[in-house]
Amino acid sequence: MALHWKIVIGMVAGVIFGFVMTFFDWGSSFVSDWVLPIGTIFVRLLKLIAVPLILASLIKGISDLKDIAKFKDMGLRTFGLYMMTTVVAIFIGLGLVNTFNPGNGISEETISSLTDTYASDSGVTSKIATASAQKEAGPLQFVVDMVPDNLFAALSNNGLMLQVIFFAIFFAISMLLIGEKKAKPIKQLFDTLNDVILKMVDLIMLFAPYAVFALLSSVVVSSNNPELLVALMKYSFLLVFGLFVMILFYMVLVKFVVKKNPFWFIKQMSPAQLLAFSTSSSAATLPVTMERLEEHVGVDQEVSSFVLPVGATINMDGTSVYQAIAAVFISQALGFDLTLGNQLTIILTALLASIGAAAVPGAGMVMLVIVLESIGFPSEKLAIGLALIFAVDRPLDMCRTVVNVTGDATVASIVAKKLNKLHDPKPKNWDDHLDAIKK
Ligand code: ASP
């Protein structure tokens, strides 16, 4: 059976199991004590290999380049396309929210019951605190933050992926400059390291169907009061619809720019999308996104090793759709009038916010605070605003992460196509060499 079907079965079984568990008083603690750890171990394994994979594959990718000018070309195209897709995402979000006005129908009672339940929830207050810490940084701080001052510190923190990328590029270019002969031993080391880590991805993925079972059952048992969710139905549907439009947009790009069948593309990428949904983290999904794109879509590693990790950190189209819709929804519901100028500010800050958002669960909400503040939303009402959408944020986070990951994969395929780096895929299996080590 294909991997994506196994994962889908695991997900469905997890949702049913979680739902059954909600009928028992002990159900929720049973799931968090005995089931969730399986999912947590899986996510930890993926995060464990993310940094070594970026380092090895990026050094391998760049040191394979025969022509260094290609790298500049690839960099410019990547940034250009990332900006373009993000702007499209924000426009889709703003267009939908201004057409359907989901915030206007929210009653006073709903607002006050959501405020009572969530405004002082640590989930909400911690997001506001993180946002204010981020906002204090100067305008160029994010560029400064890309440059590591200690390689080992960068390697030991999954949040510092851009620093690892910076080091890998710098190192690989210097490797090219010392000449092929001299660089050979170290090149072989990274080439092999890269193969070994991709094999680890194959092995970890054997475990994926069980892990998604655990992750989804835990999401179901910890979900919130269904009555409150109904009040947020219009907002949630609109956002999911916006995300769906984004996926259609990628499919059009795949069809007309990459010149591949978009359904085939989605099928090849589906294990990564399903994991993005289950883990809500594009950073944790990155190793799988890379493996699928290289081995199952056929994007050359020279391209994917650069475009994907950069995208996981700076390109979040799903999060951008969300920021546009959520910012306007909250303003509408709380009677904060938005001018055209405010909407233009949303475009700009949502663009910057999606670059600055970390690729972890809930990061989009932190950035939403910054977007709201940029349009002059009263700071004493921020907690109420976030409380409005908090109840549905986890499932929506799962959906927007799928779009974030698909967007990165689409851009990587376009860049590969343009640079003539798209080949026939050659999938590898975890047990290709098993016989040789079995007596
Ligand atoms: N969870 C998202 C991601 O990792 C970010 C967000 O929108 O919260 O891509």
When divided into structural domains, the chain yields a total of 1
In-domain check, residue 218 = yes
417 or 124: which carries more pLDDT confidence?
417
Residue 401 beta carbon below 6 angstroms from any ligand 1 atom: yes
CA of 359 from ligand 1 middle (Å) equals 5
In-domain check, residue 421 = yes
Candidates 319, 355, 371: which one to mutate for ligand 1, based on the most atoms within 8 Å of Cβ? 319
Residue 319 beta carbon below 6 angstroms from any ligand 1 atom: yes
Residue 4 beta carbon below 6 angstroms from any ligand 1 atom: no
Q: For ligand 1, what atom is nearest to the CA of residue 404?
A: 9
Residue 197 has pLDDT above 70, yes or no: yes
- Domain containing residue 411: CATH number: 1.10.3860.10
pLDDT tens-digit series, residues 141-170: 778 889 999 999 999 998 888 999 999 999
In-domain check, residue 48 = yes
Residue 120 has pLDDT above 90, yes or no: no
pLDDT tens-digit series, residues 5-45: 999 999 999 999 999 999 999 999 999 999 999 999 999 99
In-domain check, residue 439 = no
pTM: 0.92
In-domain check, residue 433 = no
Spatial contact of 358 and 159, defined as CB atoms under 8 Å apart: yes
pLDDT, average across residues 306-322: 94
- Averaged pLDDT of the chain: 92
In-domain check, residue 347 = yes
CA of 48 from ligand 1 middle (Å) equals 19
In-domain check, residue 233 = yes
Q: For ligand 1, what atom is nearest to the CA of residue 316?
A: 9
Residue 119 has pLDDT above 70, yes or no: yes
Domain that holds residue 336: 3-428
Contacts of 351 (CB under 8 A, 6+ apart): 83, 86, 87, 90, 320
Spatial contact of 343 and 99, defined as CB atoms under 8 Å apart: no
Residue with tokens 């100028």: 341
pLDDT tens-digit series, residues 395-436: 999 999 999 999 999 999 999 999 999 999 988 888 888 888
Q: For ligand 1, what atom is nearest to the CA of residue 312?
A: 9
Residue 315 beta carbon below 6 angstroms from any ligand 1 atom: no
